[in-house]
Amino acid sequence: MSSSRNEPAGRLALVVLVCSAALLLPLALPLLRGRVFLYNDLIWFHLPMRHLYQQALWGGDSLLWTPSIFNGLYLLGEGQTGALHPLHLLVYRLLPLRVAFNVELLTSYVAAFGGMWWLLRRLRFATLPATFGAMLFAFSGFLLLHHHHVNMVAVVAHLPWLLAAADILLVEEARGARRLAFAAVALVLGSAFLVGFPQAVWWDALALGAFAAWRAADTRRWRGLLPLAAAIVVGVLLGGIQIVPSADAIAHSDRAALPPDFAMTFSLHPLNLLQLWSPRALAGGVYSEADAPWFHEFGIYSGAILPLGLVWVWLRRDANPARRALITWTTVFAGLMFVLMLGRYGGVARLLGYLPVLGALRAPARYVVLLQFALAILATVTLEDLVAIHERRADPPAGWLPALWTPALLGIATTAAFNAHLLVDARTEAASVARAAPGVALIALVTLLVVLAARRVPWALTALIVTTAADLGLYGIAFVYREPAMTIPRFLVVVKAAPARTADGYAAALEEGVAAKNALVLKGYRLSTGYAGFFPAARHPIGGSTALALSGTQWTFARNGARSAYVGGVARVRVLDTDGRLDPSGFAQLTADRPGRLDAEVRAAGPRILAFTERFHDGWTATADGRPLPVVRVEGDFLGCRVDAGVRHVELRFTPRSFRDGAIVSGLGALALATVLWRWPRAPSGRHAIAAGRER
Q: Which domains does the chain have, with CATH numbers?
A: 258-479 (no CATH), 499-530+541-561 (no CATH), 573-657 (2.60.40)
44, 49, 166, 349, 512 from 83: Cα distances, Å: 18, 10, 27, 31, 27
Most confident of 132-136, 391-395, 687-691: 132-136
What dihedral angle (degrees, nearest 10) is formed by the CA atoms of 309, 314, 315, 319? 110
Nearest to 617 by CA among 511, 534, 524, 502: 534
Pairing of strands 526-527, 563-565: unpaired
What share of the chain has pLDDT > 70, as a percent? Answer: 93
Which conformational region is residue 32 in: left (phi greater than 0), alpha (psi within -120 to 50 degrees), or beta? alpha
pLDDT > 70? residue 424: no
Q: Name the pLDDT band for 54 (thresholds 50, 70, 90).
A: very high
pLDDT of amino acid 425: 59
| Angle in degrees, CA 60, 63, 64, rounded to 5 | 140
| Residue 614 CB neighbour total at 10 angstroms | 24
pLDDT tens-digit profile of 183-234?
Answer: 999 999 999 999 999 999 999 999 999 999 999 999 999 999 999 999 999 9
248, 255, 528 from 357: Cα distances, Å: 12, 10, 28
pLDDT tens-digit profile of 575-634?
Answer: 999 888 999 999 999 999 999 999 999 999 899 999 999 999 999 999 998 899 999 999
Distance CA 188, CA 395 (A): 41
pLDDT > 90? residue 429: no
694: amino acid identity, one letter: R
| Angle in degrees, CA 560, 561, 562, rounded to 5 | 95
667: amino acid identity, one letter: G
Q: Computed over its alpha carbons, how large is the radius of gyration of the chain?
A: 28
* End-to-end CA, the chain: 35
Distance CA 326, CA 345 (A): 28
Instruction: Compute the average pLDDT of residues 285-307.
Output: 93
Contact 268, 364 (CB under 8 A): yes
pLDDT of amino acid 357: 61
pLDDT > 50? residue 240: yes
pLDDT > 90? residue 692: no
Please state the separation of Cα 688 from the chain's center in Å.
49
441, 457, 611, 613 from 642: Cα distances, Å: 72, 83, 9, 15
Pairing of strands 631-634, 555-557: unpaired
pLDDT tens-digit profile of 524-539?
Answer: 999 999 999 889 999 9
Contact 242, 250 (CB under 8 A): no
Backbone angles phi, psi at 594, to 5 degrees: -125, 165
pLDDT tens-digit profile of 482-538?
Answer: 988 999 889 888 899 999 999 999 999 988 888 889 999 999 999 999 999 889 999
105, 417, 667 from 661: Cα distances, Å: 31, 59, 10
What share of the chain has pLDDT > 90, as a percent? Answer: 77
- Surface-to-core class of residue 204, CB atoms within 10 Å of its CB (0-12 exposed, 13-18 middle, 19+ buried): buried
Query: Which helix (H) or strand (E) element contains residue 330?
Result: helix 324-341
Instruction: Compute the average pLDDT of residues 409-434.
Output: 76
Instruction: Compute the average pLDDT of residues 462-472.
Output: 97
DSSP code at position 607:
S
437-467 burial, b if ≥16 CB within 10 A, otherwise e?
bebbebbbbbbbbbbbbbeeeeebbbbbbbb
Nearest to 70 by CA among 55, 52, 91: 52
- Surface-to-core class of residue 209, CB atoms within 10 Å of its CB (0-12 exposed, 13-18 middle, 19+ buried): middle
Please state the separation of Cα 471 from the chain's center in Å.
23
pLDDT tens-digit profile of 255-265?
Answer: 767 777 777 88
Residue by residue, DSSP assigns 161-193 as HHHHHHHHHHH---HHHHHHHHHHHHHHHHHHH
DSSP code at position 536:
B
Distance CA 353, CA 261 (A): 7
Between 164-168, 262-266, 687-691, the lowest mean confidence (pLDDT) is in: 687-691
pLDDT > 60? residue 56: yes
41, 175, 195, 285 from 179: Cα distances, Å: 40, 6, 25, 48
- CA atoms lying within 13 Å on the CB side of residue 327: 21
Distance CA 152, CA 198 (A): 9
Nearest to 440 by CA among 399, 471, 476: 471
Q: Name the pLDDT band for 689 (thresholds 50, 70, 90).
A: very low
Which residues are CB-contacts of 446 (< 8 A; sequence separation ≥ 6)? Answer: 303, 304, 305, 308, 464, 467, 468, 471
State the alpha helices, DSSP H only, in 483-636. Answer: 488-491, 545-550
| Residue 352 CB neighbour total at 10 angstroms | 18
205, 211, 323 from 170: Cα distances, Å: 16, 10, 19
